Structure 1
């Protein structure tokens, strides 16, 4: 078997999290990804912890999985010729610089599509390629803030709540990059043309206002914090237990809510539903009930009840859970020293095509630069000259 995306060849100019995560996902599914990196500027993902006996961080080892790496000084005019040669095979480009940077390097879509008209070129940025904010700096929290989502998330007393993961970077940026590229591949197969893809992480977060946004555009009413059944305005919520752990209750449907009320010993609450008239009063009663037992005690009670009631797991518990084992969500990935490193697996399961975990991400000090350059027909003396004069820095 081969990977679902076997035959796709991608040049990856991205750094940090969103772009590298997207190209890792594509590589897991069989795409041939060549990361173009700087040997002199460390990636922002190069932060502790580091693999034992290695110069690569756990994060870089993960998002660099299955990729080859070539170091290249893109400010050196000679790099343009090399990129043009690579485009004879690698006809998909992913880049994550601010708008205009690739144009200054003469590596933008307009410059490169003349080399390969079938080129699919994806630019991933915070605010997109046009508009008043195109050149403004930003990170995950900023994109979420500007989307409107933060305004109705969190608690009345404390305001918007930070998430423990980068929703805009990953759910919006990386996933839309993957979707856009695969859609463009299908278009190219059907019509023979490549194209340019403009992915904005803020656009993606705005699109996530699926329910609240649809309602606002209909009636003009801003959603409020704890005003909807999924954002704290109902019994759908997290609750603390006696041992200061947390449980999650999401039983919106009547049958699940009924099972929940029976589980906590309050069948009298069934008639009021998950969004009772005096919600805050009822919610305080539920909070007090759930604080009377430990997490394990509640798990035992709800183990036989279908109530959308689950424990809030620590990461250590989640990654060692039976569910993760059943679904194969932690895999052993080969490392350069002959050992393996545990990593989170691809969440996509195929019945026919193969998911491969060939190797962890490799540091730039072990890049495949010479091998790639040799494949383009350069001699050893030319490569030595490139090395001496800083082309690979």
Structure 2
């Protein structure tokens, strides 16, 4: 695909989600990506339902715009082929546990000796160092160890199992792309490549952002439903009459005033500005009762022309049809590999002005 990264060539040894998502982003921006897959070891996303025809939707999405080469890395001929390829490639992305690529004979030091300009990115659960470097894990584990899960969810039910893979994607994939591109910029200045070590747990810990700043510097440990943005205020979700949900984020005074006026709760405007938990809970109760009076569609119509930070909770299918996401080109059609066009999520990075 055309894009700002058309000069880059990526050799991708990763499977599952974090690495493939990162290299998909690079491919979307124009990089040439060659996937190296094991002929005797199936990538789990390839057999993961649901399927579109005979193809896993996850696999066709994560492998778009990429070429594939099957190599058994335990064979000497395959190792020689990798060493040959790496002479002409800019970036290697791998997702094995630490030391696996070294044991295969194609670790960083070996490949660096062949191509000193090589940027080598290793994405792992816990990083290349530390007591957990060889430990198995998944997204839910990384979020737990990173402290993210501790202040999410409800006080009486605990942290929720999220519908998206935050540590894998927002952590591993996005930070990998940032690290790789930063290394590309440095290589333009120095001519030397380098090793980029991405830990999904590190990345998830960094996502704590404001809650982390308060805890580490201020000694204020955030608990579920205790803070402004995690359910401790009226900034929350409210169920409608038809069991759908409405998001209310009207924090600023002008928005909260408009919210209360629109809902016929003008007498409660002062509660929205109060920092007292009891005032926030009183307002939340009033909002809960009020929102339950109408259906989601009715609330959408009421707030359609109100600049109050109130929006419906949409399904993914509904979101794909939302005029804002459609205008941004966030749903694209891609050949799934057999000539049939498949709708997929587009790349959220837009270059230039889109009119």
Q: Give TM-score, length-normalised by structure 1.
A: 0.87
In 2, Cα distance between equivalents of 1:109 and 1:51: 37
Residue in structure 2 matched with residue 295 of structure 1 by the alignment: 296
Tell me by how many angstroms 1:275 deviates.
Answer: 4.9
CA contact (8 A) 1:10 1:92 kept: yes
Question: In the superposition, relative to structure 1, how do residues 296 and 352 fare at CA in structure 2: closer, same or farther (>3 Å)?
Answer: closer
CA contact (8 A) 2:28 2:65 kept: yes
Secondary structure in 2 aligned to 1:154? coil
CA contact (8 A) 1:234 1:274 kept: no
Cα deviation code 1:151-196 (max 9, x no counterpart): 1110011011121100000000000010000000000001111000
1:227-306 matches, within 5 Å, as 227-277=226-276, 278=278, 279-306=280-307
In 2, Cα distance between equivalents of 1:34 and 1:127: 26
| 1:30 aligns to 2:30 (yes or no) | yes
Tell me by how many angstroms 1:7 deviates.
Answer: 1.1
Tell me by how many angstroms 1:336 deviates.
Answer: 3.6
Q: Give TM-score, length-normalised by structure 2.
A: 0.96
Question: In the superposition, relative to structure 1, how do residues 140 and 274 fare at CA in structure 2: closer, same or farther (>3 Å)?
Answer: farther
In 2, Cα distance between equivalents of 1:5 and 1:152: 38
Secondary structure in 2 aligned to 1:45? helix
Tell me by how many angstroms 1:15 deviates.
Answer: 0.1
CA contact (8 A) 1:122 1:198 kept: yes
Question: In the superposition, relative to structure 1, how do residues 216 and 276 fare at CA in structure 2: closer, same or farther (>3 Å)?
Answer: closer
Tell me by how many angstroms 1:324 deviates.
Answer: 2.2
Secondary structure in 2 aligned to 1:273? helix
Residue in structure 2 matched with residue 223 of structure 1 by the alignment: 222
| 1:338 aligns to 2:339 (yes or no) | yes
1:1-393 matches, within 5 Å, as 2-46=2-46, 47-52=48-53, 54=54, 56-277=55-276, 278=278, 279-351=280-352
Cα deviation code 1:290-330 (max 9, x no counterpart): 11111111111111211100000112211122222211111
CA contact (8 A) 2:215 2:221 kept: yes
Question: In the superposition, relative to structure 1, how do residues 161 and 209 fare at CA in structure 2: closer, same or farther (>3 Å)?
Answer: same
Question: In the superposition, relative to structure 1, how do residues 274 and 171 fare at CA in structure 2: closer, same or farther (>3 Å)?
Answer: farther
CA contact (8 A) 1:236 1:274 kept: no
Secondary structure in 2 aligned to 1:117? coil
CA contact (8 A) 2:272 2:283 kept: no
Tell me which moved more, 269-278 or 324-333: 269-278
Q: Tell me how many residue pairs correspond in the alignment.
A: 351
In 1, Cα distance between equivalents of 2:220 and 2:181: 37
Greater RCO, CA 8 A, separation 6+: 1
CA contact (8 A) 1:235 1:275 kept: no
Question: In the superposition, relative to structure 1, how do residues 192 and 165 fare at CA in structure 2: closer, same or farther (>3 Å)?
Answer: same
In 1, Cα distance between equivalents of 2:156 and 2:353: 51
Tell me by how many angstroms 1:274 deviates.
Answer: 4.8
Secondary structure in 1 aligned to 2:44? coil
Tell me by how many angstroms 1:105 deviates.
Answer: 0.5
Tell me by how many angstroms 1:50 deviates.
Answer: 2.3
Secondary structure in 2 aligned to 1:35? strand
Question: In the superposition, relative to structure 1, how do residues 9 and 73 fare at CA in structure 2: closer, same or farther (>3 Å)?
Answer: same
Max Rg structure:
1
In 2, Cα distance between equivalents of 1:136 and 1:147: 15
CA contact (8 A) 2:83 2:106 kept: no
